[in-house]
Amino acid sequence: MIKLAPSILSANFANLEEDIKQVEQAGAEYLHIDVMDGAFVPSISFGAPVMKCIRPISKLVFDVHLMVEEPIRYIDDFVNAGADIITVHAEACKHLNRTISRIKEAGVKAGVSLNPSTSLSVLDYCLEDIDMVLIMSVNPGFGGQKFLPLAIDKIKTLKELIRVKNLNVDIQVDGGINTDNVSEIIEAGGNVIVAGTAVFGGDIIKNVKNFNEIFSKYQ
Ligand SMILES: O=C(CO)[C@H](O)[C@H](O)COP(=O)(O)O
CATH number at residue 164: 3.20.20.70
Find the domain containing 58 and state its range: 3-216
Q: What is the mean pLDDT of the chain?
A: 98
Alpha helices of 121-203 — where are they, by DSSP H? 150-164, 182-188, 197-200
Q: Which of 19, 34, 37, 170 is catalytic?
A: 34
- Give pLDDT tens digits for 134-188: 999 999 999 999 999 999 999 999 999 999 999 999 999 999 999 999 999 999 9
CB of 177 closer than 6 angstroms to any ligand 1 atom: yes
Please list, in sequence order, all residues whose beta carbon lies within 8 angstroms of the beta carbon of residue 49, skipping any fewer than 6 positions away: 81
76 assigned ligand-binding residue:
no
Give the number of domains in the chain. 1
Question: Ligand 1: distance of its center to the CA of 173 in Å?
Answer: 10
34 catalytic per annotation:
yes
3-state DSSP assignment of residue 172: strand
The answer to whether 188 touches 152, Cβ cutoff 8 Å, is: yes
pTM over 0.90: yes
Going by pLDDT thresholds of 50, 70 and 90, the confidence category of residue 219 is confident
- On whether 179 is known to bind a ligand per the annotation, the reply is no
pLDDT level of residue 88 (50, 70, 90 thresholds): very high
pLDDT of residue 123: 98
Q: How far is the CA of 160 from the centre of ligand 1 (A)?
A: 25
Residue 100: how many other CB atoms lie within 10 Å: 22
Instruction: Tell which residue, 151, 142, 41, has the closest CA to residue 89.
Output: 41
Is 131 noted as a catalytic residue in this protein?
no
| pLDDT on residue 66 | 98
Q: What is the mean pLDDT of residues 83-102?
A: 98
- Among 12, 136, 174, say which to mutate for ligand 1: greatest number of ligand atoms within 8 Å of CB: 174
Annotated catalytic residue: which of 19, 76, 174, 203?
Answer: 174
Interface predicted TM-score (ipTM): 0.96
Tell me: the pLDDT tens digits for 112-142?
999 999 999 999 999 999 999 999 999 999 9
How much is the average pLDDT of 49-67?
Answer: 98
Specify the pLDDT at position 60: 98
Q: What percent of the chain has pLDDT over 70?
A: 100
